Structure 1
Amino acid sequence: MTKLSTRERVLWYVAAAVIMLYALFPVAWIVSLSLKAPNDLTNQQFLPTDVSFENYEQILLGDARDLFLPALRNSVVVAGLATLLAVVLATFCAYAIARLDFPGKKLILASALGVSIFPVISLVTPLFNVWRTIGLYDTIPGLVIPYMALTLPLSIWVLSAFFREIPWELEQAAQMDGATTWQAFRRVIVPLAAPGVFTTAIIAFFIAWNDFVFGISLTSTNAARPVPAALAFFTGESQFVEPTGAVSAAAVVVTVPVVVLVLVFQRRIVSGLTSGAVKG
């Protein structure tokens, strides 16, 4: 391994600092806006003149509570269900793809990859018409199903790579000791693939949590509308007042679960992304 010189290390540190500032500046700006009082929002300074939690009180206890809190609950339920169902189904599908030889296996993987990069906006109009016809419009299942169309293909693609890295001999040894195929899968394969499963669940949750197109197109009331869509319906005290502070405070609150998940489970996420299931 080539050792970096002092100048090269300094350049790497400077480049890393620039990238971090570039990535974190918008977040810091939103936090700053959320801490400004309504009469201080026109202030062009980065930091608020006086720190105020009025915007947070507005979305949690004030006029915007009836719009924000139901949307936050809907986001938790919809993203959680979509992630759970996608990971469970993708685990079985990826295991079959990695362990079994059958015609069309490569086609399934290619289709999963193609669906995961398919433009979401092209699905909205037909889904809107179908959902209105069968009664799924503006419902929790009506969002979970489209979210699974976003999370399931990517989950299959990622998990199949993890299952391929698990030595086949471990499962064969469990079966020779008397374990059934299901017992070998549940007690041997799944624990070994836990880092990959966990990483996939985090990625799927982020995709479902951040979706805006489906959330605003397939809902019309607070019954199922998630937070990203609900932010578009925030209003100010009058038609001449922009709800900048309230939207910024809501954006900060919505970002907190994502940040907490990454900070708490960052070691497992990195482990899953870098090493897969096992090292061999």
Structure 2
Amino acid sequence: MSGKEKALWYVGALVIVLYALLPVAWIISLSLKAESDLANKSFLPTNATGSNYSGIFSGDGADLFLPALRNSIVVCLISTLIAVVLAMFAAYAIARLEFPGKRLVLTSALAVAVFPVITMVTPLFNLWRQIGLYDTIPGLVIPYLALTLPISIWTMSAFFRGIPWDMEQAAQVDGATSWQAFRKVIVPLAAPGVFTTAIIAFFIAWNDFVFGISLTSTSRAQPVPAALSSFTGSSYFVQPTGAISAAAVIVTIPVVLLALVFQRRIVAGLTNGAVKG
């Protein structure tokens, strides 16, 4: 590319980055403003304060935020682990085996992945209350699998199709069983794809709001996105904007760290999955 074209690409990339980071910067600014400073329309706080952060960790909001943070971590890790393990076996069968309805399975997984979540809430709410899963950790893990498992199957099947079939056959010729060939040959080769799928599934579960607000009501199982809607101000007429902004910043940090630390693995996994299939 010529120098002018490179300059245009850099300018375009800079505009996109600024557009994406502006809401994050605005939330960070709000989280550093005192309650009396929230009416100030300036971007930067007049007197930066950490009272909003101390409030959600040791103040009035700690009893609501800390249990919700724990619930989110537990629920997201469990649902991600189950989704990745189940998707690994399902994707292997789809990529390696021939059976009737294989295309239907992939199509159904994609259809469920884009299915409106709000349509599932009311039936689940009634069913969960009847069988005792309402406001419980398992009552959130199961619906989260409906979000993470279909996209995990769809994504991971592309990675398994990209693995040469000859390598598994060679392991079986050397005396390995089908399970040993899968565990010692296929899984290590598909590790970038499995890791990428796990990160995507974790992000989907971490950001869910509809299931969290509809299927929980107390700190026993309520995740962070739902708990943020329950924050209260110092009085009835005061909006807890600063506390909500501080909690939103804290919740965003794990996602940003995962994306930055494992950026190379995610890109490598997505690239490997796009080679074939």
Give the TM bin, normalised by the shorter chain: over 0.9
TM-score by length of structure 2 reads 0.98
Which of 13, 16, 35 does residue 13 from structure 2 map onto?
16
Q: Give, in whole Å, the separation in 2 of the partners of 1:27 and 1:278.
A: 34
Give the Å deviation of 1:276.
2.4
Which of 78, 91, 96 does residue 88 from structure 2 map onto?
91
**RMSD over aligned Cα atoms:** 1.0
- 1:5-64 CA-partner distances (Å, limit 9, x unpaired): 111111000000000000000000000110111111111111111110000000001000
Q: Give, in whole Å, the separation in 1 of the partners of 2:30 and 2:205.
A: 26
Structure 1 contact 235–242 (Cα < 8 Å) conserved? yes
Written as runs of structure 1 = structure 2, the 5 A alignment for 1:208-227 is: 208-227=205-224
Q: Which residue of 1 aligns with 2:260?
A: 263
Is it true that 1:207 corresponds to 2:214 in the alignment?
no
Q: Give, in whole Å, the separation in 1 of the partners of 2:100 and 2:186.
A: 24
Q: Give, in whole Å, the separation in 1 of the partners of 2:176 and 2:44.
A: 63
Written as runs of structure 1 = structure 2, the 5 A alignment for 1:158-177 is: 158-177=155-174
Structure 2 contact 88–194 (Cα < 8 Å) conserved? yes
Q: Give, in whole Å, the separation in 2 of the partners of 1:276 and 1:127.
A: 34
Structure 2 contact 109–154 (Cα < 8 Å) conserved? yes
TM-score by length of structure 1 reads 0.97
Q: Pick closer, same or farther for the CA change 1:122–1:157 going to 2, 3 Å.
A: same
Which of 103, 117, 125 does residue 114 from structure 2 map onto?
117
Written as runs of structure 1 = structure 2, the 5 A alignment for 1:68-217 is: 68-217=65-214
Structure 2 contact 162–272 (Cα < 8 Å) conserved? no
Is it true that 1:65 corresponds to 2:66 in the alignment?
no
Aligned positions, number: 276
Is it true that 1:49 corresponds to 2:46 in the alignment?
yes
Q: Which residue of 1 aligns with 2:234?
A: 237
- 1:109-139 CA-partner distances (Å, limit 9, x unpaired): 0000000000000000000010001000000
Q: Which residue of 2 aligns with 1:249?
A: 246
Give 4+ residue runs of structure 1 displaced > 6 Å after superposition: none
Q: Which runs of 5+ in 2 are unaligned?
A: none
Q: Give, in whole Å, the separation in 1 of the partners of 2:271 and 2:245.
A: 34
Q: Give, in whole Å, the separation in 1 of the partners of 2:269 and 2:170.
A: 25
Q: Give, in whole Å, the separation in 2 of the partners of 1:245 and 1:48.
A: 11
The percentage of counterpart residues that share the same residue type is 75
- 1:63-115 CA-partner distances (Å, limit 9, x unpaired): 00000000000000001100000000000000001000000000000000000
Give the Å deviation of 1:278.
7.9
